[in-house]
Structure 1
C-alpha cells in the first residue's frame, strides 16, 4: 500500500495516518539518516520486524519493485528502510522506540540514504566526485547509480520534500569504518552537517546529530579504535551525541552488527532522541495525551538560544495566554495571546532577545494554568 505525497491518506485496519501536502505538520517528526553499510542495514529481517505501527513512516529513497515501493513516496516503515535489498538497520528500531513513547498525535518519518563501503567524503557536496570510484565493483557502483551518483544531493532532495509535510528534528549518522584512523573525520562530518543545515534553511547547531559507534571492542570489533575519533565529534558540533555500541552483538566479520545488535543500537538512538525531546522511553504512559486534557510541552530544543518550538493541547476552544517569567516571578514577555481551537497546537518563538538564564513559561486559560522551565543560553 503506497502513500501519495500530493495527497496522503493511508488506512491500515483501524489506524489512520494522514499528511497534507500544502501544510507542514509540526507533529510529523522527520529524521535524516546517512552513512555506510551499517546505516544501510545488514541485519536479517525477522518476523517480528515486519509489523510496524503506521505512525512510523519511511520516505522511499529509490524505486524497489521487489517490495512494491516507488521513490519519493511514503510507506509504513517496514524494513528495508534504505535500498531494495538491504536489511535491518539502526533506523528501524530508532523509529519504533520513538513511536512507543511519543504522544499518539506525533508521527515519525525517516529518510535513509546510505552507501556501503563509502568514505565520509562521498557525502561532501564539494568533493564527492573524487570518491565515486573508491570501489569499481558492481555492488558499490550500483548503489551510486541508484542515487544518481550524488548521495548528498539525493538526501537533500528527499529532505526538502519531507520538509513540505513535516519538521526535521534530527540527523542520524553511522559511518567511520572506511575512515578508520582518520583524525580529520569529525571535521569532515561537521562540514556535511553544516551544509545540510544551510541547504535546508535550518539554524546552525540546533538540529541534533546522533552518531553511532563502530562495533565495540567488547564484541571484538575489528575497527573499534575508530570510536575514539567518533567520541571527539561533540567537541566541534555542540549538538552532537554519541550512541554507544557496547554490548551490541555483531556478525562474524566483526564490522557489521547482527539483527539483535541493530535492534539494540537503534533503540539507543531512539532513547537518546527521546531524552533530547524530554520524553521518558521507559514510561510512555506518563506522556500520553488525549483531546480531553490540557498539556504543555517542554521547549524544543532546551536549552534554547534562538527559535524554540512549544506544543500545547486544549480539550476545547478557548482564549490562551502564553507568557515568559523570570525566576523572581516577573513577567518578561508575552509569547501568545489569542483565541485557539481545541486540539494540538505548535508555535515557534524567537528567544534571542531574552537575556541568558533560567525562565518559566506559563500557559493560562480560564480553566487551567500550566508551566514549564526553559534555559536560554
Structure 2
C-alpha cells in the first residue's frame, strides 16, 4: 500500500494525494522508513570492519536525514556508513560507526530494484522509553519526552524538505531498536509503553496501520523483561514484527552489536519488513 502525503500545520493535518499534479521534472518518489531508538539503532558497528567495498560506498537509491542531539546530517544526504554519533565523538559526519540502516538498505534495494528509499533516523544512546521517548499526548508537547519531541520534529523537517524539492513520498514503516535503558522495567510496563509509542507514531504521521518492526536487545541474561515485552508486542499486534538478536555478537561485554551483527540485524529488519508489506491489504 503506497501513501503519498504531505505535512500541514506540524503533523496535524495529513492530505492524501491520489494524483500527482505539477511535480517538477526530475522529482523523485521515495519510500520513507522511520528509524528510532537508542545506541544500537544509532549504531556502534565499526565502518572499518565492513567486509565489502560496496558497503562503504554511497547508495545511489537511498538517502538519509539523520538527527541526533549531538549533530545531524545537515539535510538529506546519500546514505553511506557513518550516520551515527558514538560517545565522546566530536568529529564530522560520516563518523567511524554505523547502525542497522546499512544492511537494511542493501537488502531493500536488492528486493525492490525499482524503488528509491528515504531513511529518517533519530537515535540517541542511553535513552529510555519511560522518559526520553515517552510519547505523551498528541496535543500536549509538555507530556512528551525530549527524544520523542525531537523525533517528530525530525520527521517534520525531513518531509518538508522533500516537499520543497517537489519529491513525492510514502511512509512505509517504523524500525525501532531500544530497551537497554529500560532493562529494569517490568514486562507489562514496557509492553504498555512500547504499544503506546507505536500508537502515537502512527497518529503523528497520519498512517493508522503503519507497519512496525521492533528489534530485540542483546541477550546478556539481564534484559529478560524487556525482551519478553518486545516479543509480546510483536505477537499481539497486527502490523508489528520482531527482529531476533539470536546469533549476534557484541563489541563490548554484551551491549553494542559489532559490525557483522549490525549488518545481520539490518538484513533481518528488511526480511521482516517485506513480510509485513506483503500482508498489507
CA distance in 1, matches of 2:236, 2:160: 29
Deviation at 1:27, TM superposition (A): 4.7
Contact 1:114 1:151 survives alignment (8 Å)? no
Give TM-score scaled by structure 2 length.
Answer: 0.73
Please state which structure has a larger fraction of its residues in strand. Answer: 1
Q: Which residue of 2 aligns with 1:113?
A: 122
Q: What secondary structure sits across from 2:119 in the alignment?
A: strand
Once the two structures are superposed, residues 350-371 of structure 1 have per-residue CA deviations (whole angstroms, 9 ceiling, x without a partner) of: xxxxxxxxxxxxxxxxxxxxxx
Structure 1 residues 319-338: aligned runs within 5 Å: none
1:193 has 2:202 as partner: no
Range with bigger deviation, 254-263 or 149-158: 149-158
Map 1:114-129 → 2, pairs under 5 A: 114-120=123-129, 121-126=131-136
Q: CA deviation at 1:155?
A: 3.4
CA distance in 2, matches of 1:213, 1:191: 18
The residue that corresponds to 2:272 in the other structure is: 272
Q: Which residue of 1 aligns with 2:98?
A: 88
Deviation at 1:32, TM superposition (A): 0.2
Whole-angstrom distance in 2 between the partners of 1:50 and 1:215: 25
Equivalent in the alignment of 1:58: 64
- Whether contact under 8 Å (2:136, 2:144) holds in the other structure is no
Match of 1:32 among 34, 45, 63: 34
Aligned match for 1:44, one of 29, 34, 46: 46
Separation of aligned partners in 2, 1:77 and 1:230: 28
What corresponds to 1:178 in structure 2?
181
1:248 alignment partner in structure 2: 248
Q: CA deviation at 1:187?
A: 1.6
Correspondences of 1:334-345 after superposition (within 5 Å): none
The number of equivalent residue pairs is 237
SS in structure 2 opposite 1:210? Answer: strand
Shift >6 Å, 4+ stretches: 20-23, 127-132
Bigger Rg, structure 1 or 2? 1
* 1:140 counterpart residue number: none
Cα RMSD over matched residues? 3.2
Does the CA-based 8 Å contact 1:98-1:270 persist in structure 2?
A: yes
For the residues of structure 1 that align with 2:264 and 2:273, how far apart are their CA atoms? Answer: 14
**Equivalent-residue separation in structure 1 for 2:239 and 2:230 (angstroms):** 14
5+ residue gaps, structure 1: 1-19, 133-143, 279-301, 305-377
More helix per residue: 1 or 2?
A: 2
Distance 1:163 1:90 in 2: 23
The alignment partner of 2:263 has SS state of helix
Q: Does 1:212 align with 2:215?
A: yes
For residue 10 of structure 1, what is the aligned residue in structure 2?
none
**Is the Cα–Cα contact under 8 Å of residues 190 and 226 in structure 2 kept in the other structure?**
no
1:28–1:81 distance in 2 versus 1, CA, 3 Å: same
Task: Point out where structure 2 has 5 or more consecutive residues left out of the alignment.
Answer: 1-21, 86-92
Q: Residues of 1 paired with 2:28 and 2:239: CA distance?
A: 21
Query: Cα distance, 1:108 vs. partner?
Result: 1.2
**TM-score between both structures, scaled by the size of structure 1:** 0.55
Gap change, CA 1:223 and 1:214, over 3 Å in 2:
same
Q: 1:180 to 1:22 in 2, by over 3 A?
A: farther
Closer, same or farther in 2 for the Cα pair 1:162/1:255, shift >3 Å? farther
State the distance in 1 between where 2:73 and 2:151 align: 20
Contact residue 213 and residue 244 of structure 1 kept, 8 A: yes
Q: CA deviation at 1:225?
A: 4.9
SS of residue matched to 1:232: helix
